[in-house]
Structure 1
């Protein structure tokens, strides 16, 4: 789970910096999490709910799943296994979260930028997740 937290912190930092720089301010993954939670769980409209879900998913769900699946994933290192895992996580998000948020399969309601930028984010997430997990295993 610690590797999941580190990876989630890294991609969150990139997202905050992107939004602060005014780059694609209309495309906020945390807001998409908020919309999905409203749709699926009936939660109130709150960016705090979006952030909580973002960290819970990245830390608890993806972090735990990676720890369980890492020995079975292809790749000669934990970092490469993390990359494979990140790509799989991206596919799951594209087929579930975006449609539940009302933006369609692969988030195409946002245009081509949604799947591309989300893919890049999941690549970074997977690489950091795998590298951190590998480092922790060696301690």
Structure 2
């Protein structure tokens, strides 16, 4: 039996990979400021995308994934995907507050400000959809495997 934290960790890995695949073309085509650049700027290392990628991967897998596993049953919506969106948009709000309070005031410049904020919101929503979907599949798989024919459930 897999714990909710472990299921969240696995879902966090898949969701982080999905969002990273969205972010790679953005970095090369320069649509918006890359998420990793925003993170690096926030911690005082503008332009250091390697640090931004490391923080992005670490927070998606080891912070947001397990935290979703713990909070998922308590989130207010019905489907796992919408629970994931609510969770990820909440994380986006906290990140935006962090950028505004601790980041450089030039993080979102006039040329890319709204577009970058919208891009971050969209990628967080995608992260939440994937996170919720994978988590729900892991829960369903465990429930299917736990059925014993002719026996009683342990709990």
Query: Does the CA contact (< 8 Å) of 1:86 and 1:123 recur in 2?
Result: yes
Match of 1:116 in 2: 118
Report the CA distance shift for 1:103/1:9 in structure 2 as closer, same or farther (over 3 A).
farther
Structure with bigger helix share is 1
Which of 78, 85, 95 is the matching residue for 1:83?
Answer: 85
**Is it true that 1:13 corresponds to 2:13 in the alignment?**
no
Once residues 119 and 96 of structure 1 are traced to their aligned partners in structure 2, the CA distance between those partners, rounded to angstroms, is 15
Match of 2:76 in 1: 74
Gaps of 5+ in 1: none
Deviations along 1:82-135, one digit per CA (max 9) or x if unpaired, are: 11111111111111135433146xx64342112211111111010011001111
Query: Does the CA contact (< 8 Å) of 1:32 and 1:98 recur in 2?
Result: no
Q: Compute the displacement of 1:44 (Å).
A: 9.7
Q: How much is the aligned-residue C-alpha RMSD, in angstroms? A: 2.1
SS at match of 1:96: helix
Larger radius of gyration: 2
Match of 2:147 in 1: none
Q: How many residues align?
A: 131
Query: Does the CA contact (< 8 Å) of 1:86 and 1:125 recur in 2?
Result: yes
> Which is further off, 107-116 or 118-127?
107-116
Once residues 33 and 79 of structure 1 are traced to their aligned partners in structure 2, the CA distance between those partners, rounded to angstroms, is 26
SS at match of 2:76: coil
Normalised to the residue count of structure 1, the TM-score between the two structures is 0.83
Match of 1:94 in 2: 96
Normalised to the residue count of structure 2, the TM-score between the two structures is 0.75
